[in-house]
Chain A
């Protein structure tokens, strides 16, 4: 078990003038036993960051600590880590048993009997004991995934690194494995870094999220912090599905004027906005309501497309007054009758709205929360996805 510390870590690929900065000056403390998810779109540097912890890439600048030890100069084999790869990277010419015992043979002095016992025990835990004599080519995707996890667990390492381990599975299996990895991690208590581009996985699995974009750290926080207290427009848009709606506007005399509607800012909002004029309003689909009568700060919209999901419906609407025909998403109760072409009033209450600086993307005003919710945000959820399936 070990903590992980990244200190001003930078990674550039290429050299001289064409260097591409994959990871830009990231500092991070990960506690012993924590489950931390690196999340971001492709090219955000999340995999590179993990590979530097693994020792598969060497940082251009900065220090990586595992426990109290600087591991900059150590190769992957000396770092006592285990990794699960996106394509599983099972050794194709070895049986499942050989795959699982390979690491123990390479990195420990255990006798053949001890190795066999450890492998059998782990295989039983993973439910793959009947597959031990098969080669990876004979296994289904889900079974390969289990073997890859088993191969990592059997090593009993200081740190687990998982690089998009579920992205090759079908949706149903992914949900099951998500729960299972969560359970395993909390049972074993091993510090885990998990890379994903899928915000649902990030929300449901991590004790904390590390949100990255273009190699830069955007926010580090619990899933709910990132959801309710996004540090900037990128995090606000990336976390949550469907994404938050953004409207760029100008603030004059306490009113935000966007293309298609005006929004009267509360006093607190005005205080937060200060003398900025270019301000972006952000509101999540579920915070909007659609009603037949006009409301304060409401504006007339026409329904473009309705996507019924069952318990809720996603309604794509566009402002009647807008000069463009871009739509935004509103989530309404699935039982509310609605039809395409209908004209309604869209309204997001002032308590639920975020404001961002249009230039920098920084959050300048956050939505309101109850005190209890505020307190709960900073607490990592135990077993975050226990009901995910």
Chain B
């Protein structure tokens, strides 16, 4: 291969040659490519192995789930899943979460997106302060506010209600929606609405027919992030629910008993929990990539 490369053959004799020190260009590219793929493989292993572990644990028969050293080869069984599907409490908690989290995402978008639009487009007195105030709801660690929430929920009769949990989730995600969507709207040129208004649209029509469609990627991004944050919420569910409005996270947590842990059921319930997020992600996937590059939707 070297004989085809004139620079290599001539540099062999000369003094300060650098050519022969270096590898052939193709070889270098191959090496870089191998290294890159190697790193990516290693990283995917780090990310995916726990998932594999969880999945395999959920498919092992009782007693084998937590065996050490692990049984790498085992006969998969859906025993845990069948037990889970027959468990009314699990189904109720799962349904609770689907309903409460979905409702909270709809509500947080209905409140947060128009709020972000107004903060982006109109001259609001003390706009900066309003924005920081909205963010301040997330500045305290949740554990610090959970007791006041408990007291408030009790006195408003929201304790252990689905509607209470919806409000709870909204309060968790609202600041995220407002901040991200404000940045997103800031990136959409104002001339779009002006063009719409000149074209005969009202301000609201301009927002609904022109700005909202342009902001779709951002809206889907905050929707999925809000969904995930609410879906995996445990602390508030633990304190603010008892029986009626128990979210699925709390149910999963209940497999960790004071004396023993039901590993198989825990794993199966966790797997079931992942499912709605994955389904939602696949559904909005095409909007997500654009949405994560916040604000740069429009080429000029």
Contacts and interface: CB of A to CB of B under 8 A. Distances in A.
Given A93-B216, A106-B205, A137-B299, A87 B189 contact: yes
Contact of B200 (A56, A86, A87, A107): A107
Contacts of B197: 55-56, 75-77
A54 interface: yes
Nearest to B192: A89
A56 B194 contact: yes
Nearest to A79: B198
A81 interface: yes
A106 B199 CA distance: 7
Contacts of B191: 85-87, 89
A122 B297 CA distance: 29
Interface in A82-131: 82-83, 85-87, 89-94, 102-103, 106-108
Contact of A77 (B200, B213, B216): B200
B198 A91 contact: no
B238 interface: no
A137 B216 CA distance: 16
Contacts, number: 72
A86 B300 CA distance: 10
Nearest to B199: A103
A107 B194 contact: no
Interface in B180-212: 189, 191-192, 194-202, 205, 209-210
Contacts of A75: 197, 202
In the complex, which of the residues A56, A86, A90 has the most CB atoms of chain B within 10 Å of its own CB atom? Answer: A56
A90 B191 CA distance: 9
A168 interface: yes
Interface in A210-228: none
A93 B213 contact: yes
A85 to B, nearest CB: 5
A321 B210 CA distance: 64
Contact of A81 (B192, B198, B216): B198
Nearest to B189: A87
Interface size class of B (residues with CB under 8 A): 20 to 34
Nearest to B197: A76
B163 to A, nearest CB: 35
A332 B194 CA distance: 48
A91 B194 contact: no
A77 B198 contact: yes
A93 B297 CA distance: 11
Contacts of A102: 196, 199, 201, 209
Given A92-B214, A106-B200, A85 B300 contact: no
A82 B198 CA distance: 6
Contacts of B299: 137
Contacts of B195: 83, 85, 89-91
Given A91-B196, A93-B214, A77 B201 contact: yes
Nearest to B214: A92
A153 to B, nearest CB: 13
A77 B214 CA distance: 21
Given A77-B201, A106-B199, A92 B194 contact: no
A155 interface: yes
A346 B99 CA distance: 87
A259 B205 CA distance: 63
Contacts of B202: 75, 77
Contacts of B67: none
A256 to B, nearest CB: 49
A279 B154 CA distance: 85
Given A89-B192, A91-B192, A168-B300, A83 B198 contact: yes
Contacts of A81: 198
Contact of A92 (B200, B205, B209, B297): B297
Nearest to A75: B197
Given A83-B194, A137-B299, A89 B189 contact: yes
B94 to A, nearest CB: 36
B207 to A, nearest CB: 13
Nearest to B193: A89
B298 interface: yes
A134 to B, nearest CB: 14
Nearest to B216: A93
A82 B200 CA distance: 9
Contacts of A83: 194-195, 198
Interface in B261-300: 297-300
B270 to A, nearest CB: 39
Contacts of A93: 210, 213-214, 216
Contacts of B199: 77, 82, 102-103, 106-107, 151, 155
Nearest to B203: A75
B195 to A, nearest CB: 4
Contacts of A91: 192, 195-196, 210, 213-214
A85 B194 contact: yes
A103 B201 CA distance: 8
Contacts of A87: 189, 191, 300
A85 B191 CA distance: 7
Contacts of A137: 299
B174 to A, nearest CB: 26
A308 to B, nearest CB: 36
Contacts of A168: 300
A46 to B, nearest CB: 16
A150 to B, nearest CB: 13
A79 to B, nearest CB: 8
B214 A76 contact: no
Contacts of B189: 87, 89
Q: Closest 7 CB pairs between A and B? A: A107-B200, A106-B200, A103-B199, A93-B213, A89-B191, A89-B195, A76-B197
16 contacts: A54-B194, A56-B197, A56-B198, A77-B199, A82-B199, A85-B195, A87-B300, A89-B192, A91-B214, A92-B192, A92-B213, A92-B297, A93-B210, A94-B213, A103-B199, A106-B201
Given A77-B199, A82-B199, A93-B216, 12 more contacts: A56-B198, A77-B200, A77-B201, A83-B198, A87-B191, A89-B191, A91-B210, A93-B214, A102-B199, A106-B196, A106-B199, A168-B300
